Every structure is written in C-alpha cells, then in structure tokens.
Amino acid sequence: MWGALTHAPGTTPVKSEGVTMNLWYNGYADPKEMIQLGYNVISTPDGWLYIVPKAGYYYDYLNLKKIYQEWTPNKIGNQEFEESHPQIKGGSFAVWNDHVGNGITEKDVHDRAFPAFQVLAQKCGTEPEVVSWRPLMLFRNRQKPGRRPWSEYSRKNSWRN
C-alpha cells in the first residue's frame, strides 16, 4: 500500500502484519515509524525516483547516473537505514502521467521507464554485481532500434546461468 499513516493516521485500525508499504514521502509515512509499527517497506523516495513526464515538477527523466552512484533502497528520503535491514524489501521508481493531452505517448513513457528499470534492477539485486556506470550505459546505448531490449545479449551470452 502507499503510505500516508503519519500524515493521516485516522481512527480505523490498520494492520501491519503481512503488509508491505511503499514509502514515497516521509511527511506522509515516516520510515522509522512505519518500520517500528512492523511494516515491510519498499523505498520509492519521490525526490530520487518519481517521474512525471512534461509536468515541470518531479523528474521528466530520472538522474540515472546519480541514482546509480549514490542511491540504495536503504535511503528513504532524508533517512538512511542499515544496508541489509530485513524490513526494507527493495526499491522502485514511479511514473505518474498527471497531465492528459501533453503529447506523451506510451513510447515516451517507455523511453523514460526502461533505463530506470535497468538501473534499479542493478541497485536492488540481492547480490549486485559491481559494474561501473560507463559499461552499464555503453551496453544500454548499443541496443539497436526495433530490437527487444536484452535479446541480443541473451542469445550471445549465458547471463541467466
């Protein structure tokens, strides 16, 4: 669930057992408080990982190099937790298409989302292989138009083994 229990706790009891909360803005759901309440969490800090195409607020494209070099799922807004905290289940980015009719197509969203998938997959793996930014981007940029991403690589290499 998307967290807002710090900002709007209400009076209805909300269970934490078996619930994973997506933490996106610490003012709405304070990470330390939510973890203390027993929630498993997914790190999606809006200041790092929010895309709102052509909106003029948040990111149009994520700053992938900065994310790759500086962010990990244990950094949630202005709070940082131990690297292997058992309640932090990973991270994700979000794409919100807030403005209908702004000319953004599905392909435009793909153009923004696919590289974010690549970088977050590398950052959120359980035992990430250390790859410098340059080779990661060189591989990404050599994909041919009209090809399925990774298809050329998966045929020539046994990366899945």
* pLDDT tens-digit map of 10-68: 999 999 999 999 999 999 999 999 999 999 999 999 999 999 999 999 999 999 999 99
Give the residue from 98, 83, 97 showing the smallest Cα distance to 43.
83
- How far is it, in rounded angstroms, from Cα 30 to Cα 160? 38
Domain ranges of the chain: 20-156
Q: What is the 3-state secondary structure (H, E, C) of 37-91?
A: CCCEEEECCHHHHEECCCCCCCECCCCHHHHHHHCCCCEECCEECCCCCCCEEEE
Question: What are the tens digits of pLDDT across the range 106-138?
Answer: 999 999 999 999 899 888 875 555 666 665 665
Say what the pTM is: 0.79
Its CATH architecture, for the domain 20-156, is Alpha-Beta Barrel (3.20)
Compute the chain's Rg from CA coordinates.
18
CA dihedral 125, 128, 133, 135 (to 10 degrees): -110
- How far is it, in rounded angstroms, from Cα 154 to Cα 71? 28
What pLDDT does 123 receive?
87
Question: What are the tens digits of pLDDT across the range 130-157?
Answer: 666 665 665 555 554 554 444 443 333 3
- How far is it, in rounded angstroms, from Cα 97 to Cα 59? 12
